Structure 1
Amino acid sequence: MLVATIVPFAVGPDAQLLGRIGGGALWIAALTAALLPIERLVEPDRADGVLDQLALAGVTEETIGATKIVAHWLTFGPLLLLAAIPASIMVAIDGDSLLRCLVALAIGTPALAALSVAVAALTAGLPRAGALAGLLMLPLAVPLLIFGAAATGADSGSALKLEAAVAMLLVAGAPFVTGAAIRAART
């Protein structure tokens, strides 16, 4: 909601301009929501030995990664989808564009959660991990953001398909990257 509140102040009250960039503003909000807790996604469990105890109990690192992805998505994804409805009024998104944006966010936010957990696992235990995680995550999230924002336009079919392909790749690969990073941090 904060991003949707600030955007009209930054670009002005032109409803036509706000309608064109509103989908991108909602995607910036989604990226921000996924990135904010990145330091707390894996590092506290690694530092406290929870990940080691789960490994001793026979839980694979990939299962831990997949569970963390689902948990992280549940903390921001559904709330973001709900907040997008009143936020669309502030950024002058019409009803059809809002529906396309909600579909794009529903497809893309699990991928943002997966990317966040994988990057959090890669940077766990490093000094200034939050800043490093942001630098690692932003270039990897750019294709998802481009296709997701483009999917809010009138001709959004191919952009939505490309976003779904990128999202499937991220969601499918992130548990394995997370598991490998957790194993590497243990050695």
Structure 2
Amino acid sequence: MIALLRRDLAIATRAGGGFGLGLAFFLVVVVLVPFGVGPETSVLTRIAPGVLWIGALLACLLSLDRMFALDYEDGSLDLLATAPIPLEGVVAVKALAHWLTTGLPLTLMAPLLAVLLNLPPQGFVWLVVSLALGTPALSVIGAFGAALTVGLRRGGLLLSLLVLPLYVPTLIFGAEAARRGAEGMEAGTPLALLTGISLGCAALMPFAAAAALRVNLR
């Protein structure tokens, strides 16, 4: 399992592996928003939590189709399916590798980009906490979507259509927690719901993704 994690991390961080693609997309989204809505600081402050969360969500979506596609193309996925380790564990490791190379860097980068959107300083901590609690759910749900579309030609669009509706609860509670924290309000309830979503997805989605992989590999 550790060897598989190291392998996926090495693939993601090498040239063309998609490690920097999500960060670059996140940066572009945040930089372009002030040009689209105007430079008024009051407007930017109000929409900053939602914009940052949407940018992080879409950035996570960019590299999902690579989660199983490369292994499927070179035959490694068939070997992993017949290996002594459970396929659910393989899915969990790949979701963890995706989070370490996408979700975690986005979480750490978010406070720097929040300055461009005039997010109040007291909201930085809540933004990081909400992203840290919510992005694991994005990776695990994305693993399920990637398992459903593995082997399909041009499956990236179908993957987006399948995964985006499942991302909505995470987006709602994550952006709400960041907004409440930035306004000095109590953010415990949306953070608790966000944590519950991530834990529930981590417990259930690997089994669903493993079942989808077994069907697609037949």
TM normalised by structure 2 equals 0.82
Match of 1:182 in 2: 213
- 2:59 aligns to what? 33
Which residue number in structure 1 is paired with residue 76 of structure 2? 50
**Greater relative contact order (CA < 8 Å, ≥ 6 in sequence):** 1
| Deviation larger for 177-186 or 132-141 | 177-186
Report the identity percentage: 42
Aligned to 2:110: 84
2:192 to 161, 179, 184: 161
Select which of 160, 166, 171 maps to 1:145.
171
Superposition CA RMSD, Å: 1.2
Alignment of 1:7-156 (within 5 A): 7-152=33-178, 153=180, 154-156=185-187
- Post-superposition Cα deviations, 1:36-80, rounded to whole Å, max 9, x if no partner, equal 012211122122221211233312110110010000001112211
Which of 140, 161, 170 is 2:201 aligned to?
170
Q: Which runs of 5+ in 2 are unaligned?
A: 1-26
Gaps of at least 5 residues in structure 1 are none
Q: Distance in 2 between matches of 1:57 and 1:175?
A: 16
CA–CA separation in structure 1 for the residues paired with 2:46 and 2:124: 12
Shift of 1:130: 0.3
Distance in 2 (CA, whole Å) between partners of 1:33 and 1:61 is 26
Paired residues in the alignment total 187
Query: Separation in 2 of the partners of 1:56 and 1:149?
Result: 41
Runs of 4 or more above 6 Å deviation:
none
Following superposition, the deviation at residue 180 of structure 1 comes to 0.6
TM-score by length of structure 1 reads 0.95
